[in-house]
């Protein structure tokens, strides 16, 4: 039995989740480099007695989706995330913000006293703020997955039933 219809239903489900996740990344303006959206993918495997479906994305995607609790609990923007900044050396490296700062058009700026602030100092200030406050959950992947999952059981049952019908037709001929 090749489970053709079951595979088709799982592929349709996965494509819908990926499509909606990419839309969310763009509409929430959290797709600065486009790397996260490009990394979204899935893998469907059909075995004789089971099947599996796995989703793929850049490692940092889970932090963008679920958010991260800040190290300073009083300032944290996300108190329910399973992820948390802890310890001074767990802060994101300011150098990792370089391309993001450039893509957002944030160059050297002036402070309230009119003094020029270099990009290096700005990146450090942003990294420190992220460390203290955390990252707000975007749910860019979780929400589309949950919405699509509600309709999956019925689609899967129908597809599996069609596969069983095909098997019965083939074996009775």
Where residue 40 falls (left for φ over 0; alpha for ψ -120 to 50; beta otherwise) is beta
Whether residue 2 contacts residue 148, with contact meaning beta carbons closer than 8 Å, is answered with: no
> Which tens digits make up the pLDDT trace of 35-80?
999 999 999 888 877 778 899 999 989 999 999 988 887 888 888 8
Alpha-carbon gap, residue 131 to 87, rounded angstroms: 10
Domain boundaries, the chain: 4-64+137-172, 70-135
* Paired tokens of 6: 């079951």
- The pLDDT of residue 140 is 95
What mean pLDDT value characterizes the chain?
83
With 0.85 as the threshold, say if the pTM is over it.
no
């Amino acid at each position: 039995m090749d489970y053709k219809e079951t595979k088709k239903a799982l592929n349709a489900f996965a494509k819908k989740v990926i499509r909606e996740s990419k839309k969310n990344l763009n509409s929430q303006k959290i797709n600065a480099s486009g790397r996260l959206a490009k990394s979204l993918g899935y893998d469907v495997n059909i075995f004789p007695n089971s099947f599996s479906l796995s989703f793929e994305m850049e490692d940092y995607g889970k932090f963008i989706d679920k958010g991260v609790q800040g190290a300073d609990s009083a300032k944290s923007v996300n108190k329910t995330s399973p992820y948390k900044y802890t310890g001074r050396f767990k802060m994101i490296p300011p150098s990792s913000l370089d391309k993001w700062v450039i893509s957002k058009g944030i160059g050297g700026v002036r402070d309230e006293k009119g003094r020029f602030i270099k990009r290096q100092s700005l990146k450090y200030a942003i990294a420190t703020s992220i460390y203290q406050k955390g990252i707000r959950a975007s749910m860019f992947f979780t929400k589309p997955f949950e919405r699509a999952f509600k309709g999956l059981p019925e689609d899967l049952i129908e597809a599996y039933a069609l596969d069983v019908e095909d098997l019965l037709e083939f074996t009775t001929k």
